[in-house]
Amino acid sequence: MKLLEGKNVIITGASRGIGKGIAETFAEHGANVAFTYSSSEGPALQLEEELKAKGVNAKAYKSNAASFTESADLVSKVLEDFGGIDVLINNAGITKDNLLMRMAEEDFDTVIEINLKSVFNMTKAVQRTLLKQRKGSIINMSSVVGVKGNAGQTNYAASKAGMIGFTKSVALELGSRNIRCNAIAPGFIETEMTAKLDEKVVQGWREGIPLKRGGTTEDIANACLFLASDLSAYVTGQVLNVDGGMLT
C-alpha cells in the first residue's frame, strides 16, 4: 500500500544521508518530493532523476535553510512547481563539535542558525498554506543529543533541544487546524555526519546500544513515513526516539 500517494513533500538537506533516505522512501510511497541542498549540486541532481524514475514529481533546489528570505522564496517556488505542500521535513543540519572551552562564538552561532533557526524559517514559510487547507504534517529532525546532551556538542545539543521545544509549541498552536508537528530523535545513524567520528568511539557506542547496531537511513525514513502519513493522524507534539534503545 502506498501511504503518501499524490502528497507534496518538502525535505531540507536531502542531497545525502538521512534526507536522501527519506526522499527515496517517500517517492516509493507515491509522494512528490521537493528537496534542498547546500552545496552538493551533482548528487542532488542525480537524486532528482532517481526519484523521477520512480514515477513521481521531484525537484532539487539550492537553498540555505538558515536564511529566512531564501526559505520563503523556496516555498513560493515549490508552490508554483508542485501546486501544494502537505508535509514539511526539517532535516538539514550540521555539526561543529568542540569542548566549550575551545568553541568559537561563530561555531555556536552557525550551528544554531542552520539547525534551529532553519526550522523557524521553513515552518513559518509553509504555515499559511497548511492553515488554508486545514491539514499538514511537520517533522523536525532532532537528535538523542538534544534529549540527553553530549560532551563536545553544546552547540549541537542546544540546537536539537531547541527543536523539541519548537515542535511542542507548534503542535499546541496549530493542532486545532489539524496540523500536526512531531520530532524524531535519531540515535547513531551511519551517514557522512557520523563517518567523521573516531572508530573507537563509534564501536563503544554500538556496544552500548540495546539493538547492538547503528541505525540506517531507512530506519529514520520509515519513522518519517509513519509521522507524515495518516497512520499517525492522532499523533502530535511527540518526540519519537529512533535509536535502537540508546535512551532506554
Region of 240 on the Ramachandran plot (φ > 0 left; ψ -120 to 50 alpha; else beta) = beta
37, 61, 156, 234: the catalytic one is: 156
Stretch that binds ligand NAP, among 49-57, 60-68, 71-79, 204-212 (CB under 6 A): 60-68
Residues 71-110 contacting ligand NAP, CB under 6 A: 91-94
Which lies closer to ligand NAP via its Cβ, residue 46 or residue 178?
A: 46
Tell whether residue 162 is a contact of ligand NAP (CB under 6 A).
Answer: no
Which lies closer to ligand NAP via its Cβ, residue 168 or residue 177?
A: 168
Tell me the per-residue interface mask from 15 to 44 with ligand NAP, x by CB under 6 A, - otherwise: xxxxx----------------xxxxx----
Q: Least distance from C-beta 205 to ligand NAP, angstroms?
A: 10
Number of residues that bind ligand NAP (CB under 6 A): 30
Q: Least distance from C-beta 85 to ligand NAP, angstroms?
A: 17
156 carries an active-site annotation: yes
SS (H, E, C) the chain: CCCCCCCEEEECCCCCHHHHHHHHHHHHCCCEEEEEECCCHHHHHHHHHHHHCCCCCEEEEECCCCCHHHHHHHHHHHHHHHCCCCEEEECCCCCCCECHHHCCHHHHHHHHHHHHHHHHHHHHHHHHHHHHHCCEEEEEECCHHHHHCCCCEHHHHHHHHHHHHHHHHHHHHHHHHCEEEEEEEECCECCHHHHCCCHHHHHHHHHHCCCCCCECHHHHHHHHHHHHCHHHCCCCCCEEEECCCCCC
Tell whether residue 114 is a contact of ligand NAP (CB under 6 A).
Answer: yes
Tell me the per-residue interface mask from 172 to 201 with ligand NAP, x by CB under 6 A, - otherwise: --------------x-xx-xxxx-------
Tell whether residue 12 is a contact of ligand NAP (CB under 6 A).
Answer: yes
Q: Least distance from C-beta 234 to ligand NAP, angstroms?
A: 25
Which lies closer to ligand NAP via its Cβ, residue 13 or residue 162?
A: 13
Residue with cell 496540523: 179
Task: Cite the active site residues.
Answer: 156
